[in-house]
Amino acid sequence: MNEHRRQILEMLAAGKITADEAERLLSALEPEAAPAADFNGRIAGNGSADTNVKTRAKYIRVLVEADEYMTGMKGQTTVNVRVPLQFLRAGVRLASLIPKQAHDQLDEALNRHGIPLTLSQIKPENLEELIDHLEDLTVDVDGKEGNNTKVRVFCE
Amino acid sequence: MTPNIAIVHIETPHWRSIPLWIPLFLLWIPAILLSPFILIVIFGLSIAGKLNPWRTFRVLWDLICSLPGTQVRVTTDGTNVRVRIL
């Protein structure tokens, strides 16, 4: 809770302001660009119908469109995979079970391939944050020079 | 919740299968029967890898329980295979 909010609540508790005044003050603290949304991701609205705002992502979707050049199969191949983010969470937790001896080897191999990631630095308490930030992730890959493969990864 | 049913659809240009409902919950029967062996294997491997066996068991359980909602669809040359786990 930030300082201003706490001050308002303390003033309300002390009886210096009324509940209505406290509500007005609290709403004034809210950034204009981010209207208050309830747990279902709906805005209370300003007289108009409820509008959907960004809800918490549940799935990660991977779409791949590959041509004959890539697959060696006739015609275009499309792969559409939807994986629950919960599965990803469990997968990352599974990675945390990797023995410490193997961490160094993995880090070295990742660094060799240009991925500056240290697996031992990924702690269970960071996992939630990591997964939460995945919700904003979108990856678009378009092939070029005769390769029409397209890959899209996003959360929904 | 553990995955209970997998639904498989297969479509080709000439033939279309009815949705195959695979009752994954029936896997509980062999899983329960084999549970002593499964637990021994998990505990043995965890101890060999210097891991907490309970934590390993929990992670594996979480992995299984997070499977429902998974969908895979592969389409190529008029053939369409769709798998959903509920």
Average pLDDT over residues A85-101: 79
B73/A79 CB distance under 8 A: yes
pLDDT tens track for A16-45: 777 777 777 777 776 544 444 443 444 444
Q: Is the pLDDT of residue A51 over 50?
A: no
pLDDT tens track for B7-48: 999 988 888 878 889 998 898 889 899 999 999 998 898 888
Residue with tokens 């007005």: A24
Tokens of A113: 């391939």
Q: Is the pLDDT of residue B84 over 90?
A: yes
Q: Give the domain ranges of chain A.
A: 1-55, 59-155
ipTM of the modeled complex: 0.80
Preferred mutation among B2, B74, B84, B86 to probe A, highest tally of A CBs within 10 A: B74
**pLDDT value at residue A41:** 40
Average pLDDT over residues A138-153: 78
Task: Give A51-69 as a DSSP string.
Answer: -B-PPPP-EEEEEEEE-HH
Distance of alpha carbon B12 from alpha carbon B80, whole angstroms: 6
B77/A82 CB distance under 8 A: no
pLDDT tens track for B37-63: 999 998 898 888 788 888 888 888 888
A77/B76 CB distance under 8 A: yes
The mean predicted confidence, pLDDT, of chain A is 72
Q: Is the dihedral of CA A46, A52, A57, A63 positive or negative?
A: negative
**pLDDT value at residue B21:** 92
Q: The pTM is what?
A: 0.62
Distance of alpha carbon A17 from alpha carbon A9, whole angstroms: 9
Percent of chain B with pLDDT over 90: 30
The mean predicted confidence, pLDDT, of chain B is 88
Picking from A59, A76, A93, the nearest residue to B69 by CB comes out as: A59
Q: Is the dihedral of CA B27, B28, B29, B32 positive or negative?
A: positive
Residues forming a β-bridge with A155: A60
Q: Is the dihedral of CA A144, A148, A149, A155 positive or negative?
A: positive
Phi, then psi, of A43 in degrees rounded to 5:
-85, 145
Distance of alpha carbon B18 from alpha carbon A66, whole angstroms: 27
SS (H, E, C) A125-139: HHHHHHHHHHCCCEE
